[in-house]
Amino acid sequence: MDVAKNFPLVIILILFIGAFIMPLLKNKIYNKAFSLMTIGISSVLSLITLVYVNRYGTFLYRVGHWDSPWGIELSIGILEAIMSLLLTSVAFVISWYSVYTIEKEIKDNKVCFYYTLINILVGALLGIVYTNDLFNAFVFIEVSAIAACGIIVVKDKKENIKATLKYLILSSVGSGLVLMGIAFIYSITGNLNMTFINKELSQTFMAYENSILISLGLFTIGLGIKSAMYPLHVWLPDAHSNAPSTSSAMLSALVLKAYVIFYIKILYRMFGEEIISQFPILLFMVLILGSLGMIMGSILAILQKDIKRVIAYSSVAQMGYIFFGIGLGNTIGLVSTFFHILNHAIIKSALFLTVGSMIEKTGQKKLFALKGIGKEMPITLGLFTVSALSMVGIPILPGFISKFNFAIGSIKGGKSIFVVVILISSLLNALYYFPIVINGYFGEENLEGKVFKSKEKTIKELMPILVLIIAALILGASSNKIIEMISNGVEVF
Amino acid sequence: MNTIVLIEIGKILIPIIQIFGIYVIFFGHLSPGGGFAGGTIIGTSLILYRIIFGNKKAAKKLGFKRLMRLTCGSLIFYGVLKGYSFITGGAHIHAPQISLGSPGSILSGGYILPLNIAVGIVVAITIYFLFCLFYEGEI
């Protein structure tokens, strides 16, 4: 069974090499099939890796012929395996949906480049998740930033170019800060491998307190920009609302998450709990910014008039939850952060895809124009409703479980006051999701002149969203097992 | 730009630039240089060709499809070769590797030379594409 140790590297290779086979294929249909095939194979391999890791424990894999302080190393534990399964399978479902709709949003000659970019993006994100080497992670961060910009600008409209430039500039600032943080750490420890850095730092950190604090700050802000921590989220609404809906789903569900994983790795694998506890201000700041994001993201979402911007701002709020969990600084906080990452990736991609199909069929983006949509597209709005309920946190759905765990975490961490923040944020969530649903299904004047099921998509095209919703339900129903698995993973992280 | 001086000088200059670029790529593992530097040099020669002879003649020799095929081919070659090296190294398989050769000769350094050639091709074409996109808006 040792063959399974090669799978993470094989996945990255398949995705990257597959990306460059695509421009050589003549037909769009081959492109789509090939992209689906490569991402599908990688999700199967991720599943096998997860099973392997679950049985035999974490393993390190050296890349190339040199051992770890010199060569690059991948480190695959349960959390990495879960994340890679999540990334590849959600990317697979989103690409499956895009097969039916992508020509309606982007030009025909760009289709092959779109799938090339998707493959590169997923590969780079997996690289960030797997790697145990700081500089390797930085390279993958840059690759993913460029690929992410690519899938926004591929629509080739004026506002897309503007949003992409904004994203490109801010995300370059972010990666610049990360690089500076790496430079600080490298000059202190002389290593780029996270395990070795941890060894060096645990002996000498007292001598370099300021440098360590500065580099911690640089990593926090740099990765905060990339994963839309609250006051640094300014690029997100433009980028996510202007991109093609499959790209928005990909960006919101996957791209933001990989950087969070990298951040957690930096905090707990590289610096270690001992050093982090020396600087309580850092986690407290993350906690405060997370709570601010939870509330302000929701308030800003209420003020929006464009349905895609509502969901984009909702992403800011949900990233707030994720940073909130990191900021709690205890095991339960981290576990619920991971669970929320799973939950948000699945639910948010379902939301973006349903909204994308509403916009595609009606041609309207504004909230007031989408009133009465429930009569024209009842199944689509039904799927939207289930996802919205999960976002708000109705029991059985995964959103409830992650919020419940966040609450438990904040009580156990002695920060019970923050339970109020979670409650307020949930109520605010309800305030912007429910009007869309209620105005969609009910109201005499809303439903006037609408024909039942007149704009509904075929069941074949709705299947991907249905799969996502079913996955969310399974995630909610079997949350005990999954949380147990994640806590096993967090212990050996 | 159809001046006779430009064309005649271009005819002499372009091959020299290209030979220098190839030299930089092929000696990348022995001296300063390598795939990226050599690739840019070859890329400038392609740009010069396009400026001097115009886009119609350039499109005949440097068609978009042909260059795209070349780039993707090199990238796939790079991925497969390096992936082979990575996996045989990571899994501790004693599979045949490219020999290291005698130090100082061109055919030495194992994987570096073939990978440098692939990088050089990709960089040359990318530089050319970038120029075309900014200069005329199309390739």
Q: What is the pLDDT of residues A286-298, one digit of tens each?
A: 999 999 999 999 9
Q: Is residue A46 part of a domain?
A: no
| Average pLDDT value for residue range A266-285 | 90
A239 to chain B, closest Cα gap in Å:
24
Close Cβ partners of A127 (under 8 Å, ≥ 6 residues apart): A12, A136, A137, A139, A140, A143
Q: Is residue A314 part of a domain?
A: yes
Whether A9 and B87 lie within 8 Å, measured CB to CB: yes
Of B76, B86, B91, which has the smallest distance from its Cβ to A20's Cβ? B76
Domain range for residue A285? Answer: 279-493
Distance separating alpha carbons of residues B126 and A22, to the nearest angstrom: 17
What integer pLDDT is reported at residue A3 of this predicted model? 86
pLDDT band at A179 (very low <50, low <70, confident <90, very high): very high
Dump pLDDT digits (tens) for B87-126. 998 888 888 888 888 888 888 888 899 999 999 999 999 9
Q: Is residue A308 part of a domain?
A: yes
Backbone angles phi, psi at A305, to 5 degrees: -110, -10
pLDDT band at A373 (very low <50, low <70, confident <90, very high): confident
pLDDT band at B2 (very low <50, low <70, confident <90, very high): low
- Cβ atoms of residues A373 and A358 within 8 Å: yes
Of B73, B85, B89, which has the smallest distance from its Cβ to A62's Cβ? B89
Q: Is residue A24 part of a domain?
A: no
What integer pLDDT is reported at residue A1 of this predicted model? 57
Q: What average pLDDT is seen over chain A?
A: 91
| Chain A positions touching chain B (beta carbons under 8 Å) | 2-3, 5-6, 9-10, 13, 16-17, 20-21, 23-24, 61-66
| Average pLDDT value for residue range A180-185 | 94
Residue type at A71 in one-letter notation: G
Q: Is residue A437 part of a domain?
A: yes
Share of chain A above pLDDT 70, in %: 100
For residue A402, count other CB atoms closer than 10 A to its CB: 30
Report whether pLDDT(B28) > 70: yes
Mutate which: B65, B72, B138, vs A, most A CBs within 10 A: B72
Q: Which two tokens stand for residue A121?
A: 């993006």
Close Cβ partners of A211 (under 8 Å, ≥ 6 residues apart): A184, A187, A188
Mutate which: B76, B78, B86, B87, vs A, most A CBs within 10 A: B86
What integer pLDDT is reported at residue A336 of this predicted model? 92
Report whether pLDDT(B5) > 60: yes
Q: Which two tokens stand for residue B12?
A: 């002499």
CB pairs under 8 A between A and B: 48
Chain A neighbors of B83, CB-CB under 8 A: 9, 13, 17
Q: How many domains does chain A have?
A: 1
* A62 DSSP 8-state letter: E
Whether A13 and B83 lie within 8 Å, measured CB to CB: yes
pLDDT band at A204 (very low <50, low <70, confident <90, very high): confident
Residue of A nearest to B85 (CA): A64
pLDDT band at A220 (very low <50, low <70, confident <90, very high): very high
The CA angle A35-A41-A46, to the nearest 5 degrees, is: 125
* A5 DSSP 8-state letter: G
Name the 3-class secondary structure at A59. strand
Q: Which has the closest alpha carbon to A437: A355, A364, A359?
A: A355
Dump pLDDT digits (tens) for A71-129. 899 999 999 999 999 999 999 999 999 999 888 888 888 888 999 999 999 999 999 99
B106 touching A (Cβ < 8 Å): no
* A396 DSSP 8-state letter: T
Chain A neighbors of B72, CB-CB under 8 A: 20-21, 23-24
| Average pLDDT value for residue range A40-69 | 91
Bin B107: left if φ > 0, else alpha if -120 < ψ < 50, else beta.
beta
Residue-wise DSSP of chain B: ---HHHHHHHHHHHHHHHHHHHHHHHTTTTSS--HHHHHHHHHHHHHHHHHHHHHHHHHHHS-HHHHHHHHHHHHHHHHHHHHHHHHHHHTT---------STTSSS-STTHHHHHHHHHHHHHHHHHHHHHHHHTS--
A159 to chain B, closest Cα gap in Å:
19
- Cβ atoms of residues B111 and B26 within 8 Å: no
Distance separating alpha carbons of residues A168 and A376, to the nearest angstrom: 38
Q: Is residue A359 part of a domain?
A: yes
A27 to chain B, closest Cα gap in Å:
14
Chain B neighbors of A64, CB-CB under 8 A: 85-86, 89-90
* A193 DSSP 8-state letter: B
Q: Is residue A489 part of a domain?
A: yes
Distance separating alpha carbons of residues A96 and A383, to the nearest angstrom: 17
Report chain B's terminal Cα–Cα distance, integer Å.
Answer: 18
**E strand or H helix at A60, and its extent?**
strand A59-63
Report whether pLDDT(A203) > 70: yes
